[in-house]
Chain A
């Protein structure tokens, strides 16, 4: 079953509000072997004019992953996780994420292109704060192999 082309233009609900925790930011930064005090030390972050520790650049993947779960849960999507290859990823920021932000992500599928037996699925997760202001857009290209059933 190929990827369902009707996913394009479908309106997905925003993900439930995600509160960015200081320790989660630090845990994520440590997993990336970061030594940057802006990620790790609230005092250093405040001294630099940020409200709290600043999340690593790729942190929005945590929210994008919630939107991927929405996509996988979509009945008849034709997307099975074990057939998905991550081909490209991008982040476009309006401002950095800091601990204390409450964020939601809204998914849109922007393109589906057949390539041999696979589909290239392009999507964007638009991430906004509690005030509704844009923070970052996470874009991904997935290469989805055709499932058996």
Chain B
């Protein structure tokens, strides 16, 4: 299995885009994620609470944005690779309008690759309304060796 993955990784060059994704978020998306994750903080579905907290509106969970971003490469990672680490900074909140929602775009680019070692770093560029919302969003992948 590791030979196949080395082939997959050796096909990569720094700067290559391995995946891109556009996601339309609505209030329903937030409620769905609240239920799935167990994070029921009401700033993610109540305008009155968001306003009381001085927020510009109801916000997407940071962890929803982080999760949506990495799922952009999930199918690319596939069975041959595994994700060994993923980290991000939450630099800007994603405001989800009750009517028009919000649009997230994700571009996954190769930041580093070492085909011999069977590892690579994928950098996720995540934006809403043309502004990046996650900082230093990096995923490390490795050839799968413990199948």
Measured CB to CB, the residues of A under 8 A from B are 24, 27-36, 38-39, 47-49, 56-58, 61-62, 65, 81-82, 85-93, 95-96, 139
Name the residue in A33, A48, A56 with the highest tally of chain B Cβ atoms < 10 Å from its Cβ. Answer: A33
CB within 8 Å of A: which of B33-87?
33, 35-39, 41, 53, 62-64, 66-68, 70-71, 74-75, 78-79, 82-87
Contact B35 A27 (CB under 8 A): yes
Contact B67 A57 (CB under 8 A): yes
Contact B41 A49 (CB under 8 A): no
Given contacts A31-B37, A92-B85, 10 further A-B pairs with CB under 8 A are: A29-B71, A33-B71, A56-B71, A61-B39, A86-B62, A88-B87, A88-B89, A90-B85, A93-B84, A95-B82
Contact A81 B71 (CB under 8 A): no
Residue of B nearest to A25 (CB): B36
- Cα A65 to Cα B29 with chains together (Å): 20
Q: Given A49-B79, A86-B90, A27–B85 Cβ distance below 8 Å?
A: no
Contact B84 A28 (CB under 8 A): no
Q: Closest Cβ of chain A: how far from B105's Cβ, in Å?
A: 13
Q: How many residues of B contact A (CB 8 A)?
A: 35
Q: Which residue in B33, B37, B74, B90 is a CB contact (below 8 Å) of A36?
A: B74
Q: Given A49-B79, A58-B70, A87–B90 Cβ distance below 8 Å?
A: yes
Q: Which residues of B contact A88 (CB under 8 A)?
A: 87-90
- Cα A14 to Cα B90 with chains together (Å): 27
Contact A62 B85 (CB under 8 A): no
Q: Which residue in B38, B66, B147 is a CB contact (below 8 Å) of A58?
A: B66
Contact B63 A38 (CB under 8 A): no
Q: Is B131 an interface residue (CB 8 A)?
A: no
A sample of 29 cross-chain residue pairs with beta-carbon separation below 8 angstroms, ordered by A number, consists of: A27-B35, A30-B32, A30-B36, A31-B33, A31-B37, A32-B33, A32-B67, A32-B71, A34-B71, A48-B147, A49-B147, A56-B67, A56-B74, A57-B70, A57-B74, A58-B63, A58-B86, A65-B38, A65-B39, A81-B41, A86-B62, A87-B90, A88-B87, A88-B89, A89-B87, A91-B85, A92-B85, A96-B83, A139-B87
Q: Which residues of A contact B139 (CB under 8 A)?
A: 57
